[in-house]
């Protein structure tokens, strides 16, 4: 399932910390270094040192394949989620499927938590050299408020990051982390 890179790492310029890349049948996999390796060579490190990615599996339809990962630290709620999506139709990436994915996540999470939210509005941002679609959604109910941050990298193999935070104003930390991703 994995193709070990060994000496090829030095010759190809791929960071040795990755350790392996997914084979032709897998879009994304967790590496020995604890990051997520995408088939195109993109490397997503853990959010922070004690955070570990967990593979929650793949879902596939006739049009899309989505691989879901979650990064958690011991005795903590999930820190960030990652959805890696491939459009099997090979249409130019536009982020529309991923926006629907974020809306579905919000709807499911809010209903389970007994919270309400408004319609998410996406803006365009530049993180590093990558154009991303971003939304910040306030979930509330009773005396509880949560903030959902979503970042979509519309690419042939798209990346969607979702983080739930207990307070507003944490975009800077999330975006600093996202700028560390080794995009290919």
Q: What is the pLDDT of residues 143-184, one digit of tens each?
A: 999 999 999 999 999 999 999 998 888 888 999 999 999 998
Confidence check: pLDDT of 23 > 70 = no
Measured over the CA atoms of residue 85, residue 78, residue 175 and residue 122, the dihedral's sign is positive
User: Could you give all domains of the chain from N- to C-terminal order, each with its CATH number?
Assistant: 47-178 (3.40.1000)
Q: pLDDT tens across 29-77, in order?
A: 999 888 999 999 999 999 888 888 999 999 999 999 999 999 988 877 7
Tokens of 14: 């791929």
Query: Are the C-beta atoms of residues 139 and 110 closer than 8 Å to each other?
Result: yes
Question: Which of these, 131, 40, 119, 47, lies nearest to 81 by C-alpha position?
Answer: 47
Q: How confident is the model at residue 4 (pLDDT cuts 50, 70, 90)?
A: very low
Average pLDDT estimate for 110-114:
93
Give start and end residues of each alpha helix (H) in 46-170.
96-113
Query: Are the C-beta atoms of residues 142 and 4 closer than 8 Å to each other?
Result: no
């Amino acid at each position: 399932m994995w193709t070990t890179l060994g000496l090829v790492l030095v010759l190809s310029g791929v960071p040795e910390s990755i350790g392996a890349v997914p084979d032709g049948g897998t879009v994304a996999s967790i590496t020995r270094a604890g990051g997520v390796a995408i088939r195109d060579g993109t490397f997503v490190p853990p959010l922070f040192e004690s955070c570990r990615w967990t593979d929650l599996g793949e879902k596939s339809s006739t049009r899309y394949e989505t691989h879901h990962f979650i990064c958690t630290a011991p005795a903590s709620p999930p820190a960030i989620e990652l959805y890696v999506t491939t459009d099997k139709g090979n249409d130019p990436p536009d982020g529309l499927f991923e926006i629907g994915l974020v809306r579905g996540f919000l709807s499911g999470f809010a209903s389970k938590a007994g919270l309400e939210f408004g319609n998410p509005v996406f803006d365009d941002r530049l993180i590093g050299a990558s154009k991303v679609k971003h939304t910040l959604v306030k979930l509330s109910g009773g005396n509880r408020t949560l903030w959902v941050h979503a970042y979509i990298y519309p690419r042939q193999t798209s990346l969607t990051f979702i983080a739930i935070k207990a307070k507003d104003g944490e975009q800077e930390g999330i975006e600093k982390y996202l700028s560390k991703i080794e995009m290919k």
